[in-house]
Amino acid sequence: MKLKNILAPELITVDVRGTTKKEIIQELLGLLVKAGRVSEVDMVLGELMERERKMSTGIQHGVAIPHAKTKAVKNLVACIGIKKEGFDFQSLDGEPSRIFIMTLSPIDRVGPHVQFLAEISMVIKTEEARARLIQAKNAQEVLAVFGL
């Protein structure tokens, strides 16, 4: 899987402003809508929130991976948001989440989203990579962390 085909500057924000879980997810979804990757906003938002309800996607070391399988997309789409001050996403280690990687993948196809997330996680496994992401001033600097 090529990260280059999935990530683009317009799908990245280094200034997430939302102050609730829903607002943050809405804001990230807004990036996908603006880039023309998703149109059925309400349905997708409902699916993302439903997944959060089952179990928080806030994982460790300030990383959260809100995601859902949905009919609204035919291929995997993803976006990245950075919130420098962090937000309590009810993550597993209790740390506030600063790096948000959102993915939407089609329901009926063999899902590439786990593969995508696995590849992303390989990159942000190191403390140094995560620090670079949090300190990024623009989308290009975020992409650079992923070698793009």
Partner 1 sequence: MAHEMMVLALQLGVILLAAKLNGWFFSRKLKQPKVLGELVAGMVIGPFLLGSIPLGSLGPLFPVVEGTIPVSPELYGIATLGSILLLFTSGLETDLPTFIRFSGKASIVGIGGVIVSFLLGAGITVVFHPEVHTLMDPEALFLGTLCTATSIGITARILGETRKISTPEGVTILAAAVLDDVISIVLLSVVVGISVVSLNGGSIAWSGIGLVALKAVGFWAICMVIGIFTAPFLTKGLKRFQSLGLLAEISFGFALILAGLSEMAGLAMIIGAYITGLSFSQTDVASEITERVKGVAEYFVPVFFAVMGMMVDFKAIGPVLGFGMIFASLAFVGKLIGCGLPALFVGFNLHGAFRIGAGMLPRGEVTLIVAGIGLASGAIGPDMFGVAVLTMLLASVAAPPLLVFAFKGKSGYKKNIEAQEDADMVFIELDFPSERAAEYVRKSLAEAFHGEGFYIHAIEGSVRSWQIRKEDMVFVMKRMEAKLEISAKRQHESFVRLMMLETLADFQEFVEGLQSMQRPDLMGASLMINMFAQENSGKKNRTQ
Q: Would you tell me which residues interact with partner 1 (CB under 8 A)?
A: 51, 54-55, 59, 110-111, 114-115, 117-118, 121-122, 125
Q: What is the spatial distance between Cα 39 and Cα 136, in angstroms, rounded to a whole number?
A: 29
What type of residue sits at position 92? L
Of the pair 86, 111, the CB lying nearest partner 1 is at: 111
Place of tokens 């899987």: 1
DSSP symbol at 138: S
> Judged by CB, which is closer to partner 1: 36, or 110?
110
Cβ-based nearer residue to partner 1, 115 or 140 = 115
Report in angstroms how near the CB of residue 137 gets to partner 1 at its nearest.
28
Report the nearest approach of partner 1 to the CB of residue 95 (Å).
17
DSSP state of 79: E
Under 8 Å between Cβ of 95 and 62: yes
